[in-house]
Chains A and B, each alone.
Chain A
Amino acid sequence: MTYKYDFEPVFAAWPMLVDGIVGTLKMSSLSMVMGLSLGIVFMLMRMSKHRAPRALAIGYIEMIRNTPILVQVFFVFFGMPAIGIRLSGEQAAILAMTLNCAAYAAEIVRGGVQSIRPGQIEAGRALGMHGLDIYRFIVFRPAIRAVYPALCSQFILMMLNSSLMSSVSAEELTYFAQTLDSQTFRSFEIYLTLGVIYLALSQFFSIALGMIGRVYFSYPAK
């Protein structure tokens, strides 16, 4: 082995890597927030007592969970222009990740809602509260709390999956790494550094989500 390690070109390109980190953080956070919101809508449809919304939600969730996210983003980016919807790489990435995240979030949150004792809902009804108010003020927080760790690992998984978005030229970390690789051919150094950055980002999300959880979803419990 005579390979001579040289991280110099990688570190010299730090502004590019910072751009990449910003891009990854932006796309991931946006998709998490929008994916969770949309996921809650699908969860409510999935639990509806009416057949049509339930069937629609099940169909959607199964379709997303049983196809690769790479195919999903290719469909959004390359497929949708055929029906007149033309998105930039970044827009396509955020849309695909949001749609993907929504399906998983819907199922995770549904688990949380099902863990709520019926007595909680009955207490709300006995006080004269309505369906959506009961969800919003009584069910939601304990439900999210019950599944918060699962939700967080899904979010982190999605942040890692955002590296696939480089294939539609979304300007995130892996995209810039590939660009740098084609300029310097320092593949070993570049992808090793990239791995370390993703590891750090995972830790960052893990800590940040943990803090959000402590503020919004924690209260004394037995």
Chain B
Amino acid sequence: MNGTSMSEKAIAMSGVNKWYGHLQVLKGIDLEVGRGEHIVLCGPSGSGKSTLIRCINHLEEIQQGTVTVNGTTLAQKGGNADHIRRDVGMVFQQFNLFPHLTVLQNCMLAQRRVRRTPAVEAKEKAMRHLERVHIAEQAEKYPAQLSGGQQQRVAIARALCMDPKIMLFDEPTSALDPEMVKEVLDTMVSLADDGITMICVTHEMGFARAVAHRVIFMDRGEIIESAKPDVFFSNPSHERTKAFLSQILNH
């Protein structure tokens, strides 16, 4: 990653605190993500990593701090969330495809309703992205007729149809059967190669090594450690990171 494009911030989180009732789930999060940067977020379950990325497109409200996306600071109550969501695509653990729409319709709906793109154009773009994730031949099928890996690739295509500058991945391979993980990761690697800004919550450490510029480790709502992948895996500086890595790598 060259220095000039990294100097502009795609995302800046500063002093972010979030509570569910009395439980504080994010504690003083400071995080800056450069344009085109790829970040892998990992940590034990309940560490707040999913919550963190869901704050970026305001699926979750924060109580303190600021979140700035491409220069727009998210209003506390999310008044300008739509503006931010225009630049941010999201892929979920459970795919969340719309079951009553075909693959093609899934990719066209938001283009039509949010962007008001004419049908022909929306369809053309949908097909382009479906081809890109190698699933164009399934365009007329319904989500339930596809495998998990195929569904997740459709979900990626659906997000790409909105021309996001930033992609958030929330454990995109955790709900997949093992033999389908690779096809989804391959798709994500090709996206990364195109230089899109990416934050990915995952425990796929091979993926982290291959595409991440930085790996961030969270525990109990805090960012514990942030390092380049080679340093992160070979020489983590915190005990909690070491303990976590030994749990997920040694078996």
On A, residues with C-beta under 8 Å from B are 117, 119-120, 122-130, 133, 137-138, 141-142, 145, 219-222
Chain A residues within 8 Å of B92, by CB: 119, 122-123
- A residues less than 8 Å from B90 (CB atoms): 123, 126
- Using known A-B contacts A122-B92, A219-B99, A219-B100, determine if residue A128 contacts B59 with beta carbons closer than 8 Å: no
- Contact: B82 with A128, CB < 8 Å? yes
Known: A122-B59, A123-B96, A130-B82. 7 other contacts (CB 8 A): A117-B94, A119-B94, A120-B96, A126-B89, A127-B110, A128-B114, A219-B99
Residues on the A chain within 8 Å of B134, using CB: none
CA distance A125 to B96 in the complex (A): 12
Given A125-B59, A219-B142, A220-B144, residue A142 in contact with residue B114 (CB < 8 A): no
Which of B100, B142, B162 makes the CB contact (< 8 A) with A127? B162
A-B contact pairs, 17 of them (CB 8 A): A117-B94, A117-B96, A119-B96, A123-B90, A123-B98, A125-B59, A126-B59, A127-B162, A128-B85, A129-B113, A130-B82, A137-B113, A138-B109, A142-B98, A219-B100, A220-B141, A220-B144
Closest A residue to B85 using CB positions: A128
Q: Please measure, in the bound complex, the distance between the C-alpha atom of A117 and the C-alpha atom of B96, giving whole angstroms.
A: 9
* A127-B168 Cα distance, complex, nearest whole Å: 12
Distance A116 CA – B159 CA, assembled complex (angstroms): 21
**Distance to closest chain B CB from A124 (angstroms):** 8
How distant is the Cα of A123 from the Cα of B97 in the complex, in angstroms? 8
Contact in complex: A141, B100 (CB < 8 Å):
yes
The answer to whether B214 has its CB under 8 Å from any CB of chain A is no
Could you say which of A120, A122, A128, A129 has the most chain B C-beta atoms within 10 Å of its C-beta?
A: A128
Binding site for A on B (CB under 8 A): 57, 59, 81-82, 85-86, 88-90, 92, 94, 96-100, 109-110, 113-114, 141-142, 144-145, 158-159, 162
Q: Which residues of chain B have C-beta atoms less than 8 A from A138's C-beta? A: 98, 109
Q: In the complex, what distance in Å separates the CA atom of A130 from the CA atom of B99?
A: 19
Query: Is B145 in contact with A220, judged by CB distance below 8 angstroms?
Result: yes
Judge whether A129 and B114 touch: CB under 8 Å. Answer: yes
Min Cβ gap B57→A in Å is: 6
A119-B109 Cα distance, complex, nearest whole Å: 16
Q: How far is the CB of A207 from chain B (nearest CB, A)?
A: 23
- From residue B119, how far is it (CB to closest CB) to chain A in Å? 14
In the complex, A119→B97 CA distance in Å? 9
CB closest residue in chain A, given B87 = A128
Assess whether A120 is in contact with B98, with CB atoms less than 8 Å apart: yes
Return the chain A residue nearest B115 by Cβ.
Answer: A128
Q: Are B57 and A126 in contact (CB under 8 A)?
A: yes
A209 to B56, CA, bound (A): 45
Instruction: List residues of chain B with CB within 8 A of the CB of A129.
Output: 109-110, 113-114
Whether B109 and A221, one on each chain, are in contact in the complex, defined by CB atoms closer than 8 angstroms, is: no
Please indicate the chain A residues that have their CB under 8 angstroms from the CB of B81 in the complex. 125
Known A127-B159, A220-B145: A133·B99 in contact at CB below 8 Å:
no
Contact A128-B98, Cβ < 8 Å, known A119-B92, A137-B109, A220-B144: no
Q: Which chain B residue lies CB-closest to A123?
A: B96
Complex Cα spacing A119 to B95, Å: 9
Interfacial chain B residues near A137, Cβ < 8 Å: 98, 109, 113
Please report the C-alpha to C-alpha distance between residue A127 and residue B161 in the assembled complex, in whole angstroms. Answer: 10
Chain B residues, CB < 8 A from A220:
141-142, 144-145
Quick check: A221 and B114 within 8 Å, CB to CB? no
- Measured between beta carbons, the chain B residues less than 8 angstroms from A128 are 82, 85-86, 110, 114, 162
Contact of B100 among A122, A123, A125, A145 (CB under 8 A): A145
Within 8 Å CB of B99, what residues of A? 142, 219, 221
CB atoms of A127 and B85 under 8 A apart: yes
Q: Which residue of A lies closest to B54 (CB)?
A: A122
Residues from chain A with Cβ under 8 Å of B100 in the complex: 141-142, 145, 219
Cα(A221)–Cα(B143), bound, Å: 8
- Docked Cα-Cα span, A155 to B140, in Å, equals 33
A124–B158 Cα distance when bound, in Å, is: 11
Report how far A120 CA is from B145 CA in the complex, Å.
18
- Shortest Cβ distance from residue B239 to the other chain A in the assembled complex, whole angstroms: 35
A residues near B94, Cβ cutoff 8 Å: 117, 119
**Distance A126 CA – B159 CA, assembled complex (angstroms):** 9
How far is B162's CA from A217's CA once the two chains are assembled, in angstroms?
A: 27
Among B86, B96, B144, max chain A CB count under 10 A is at B96
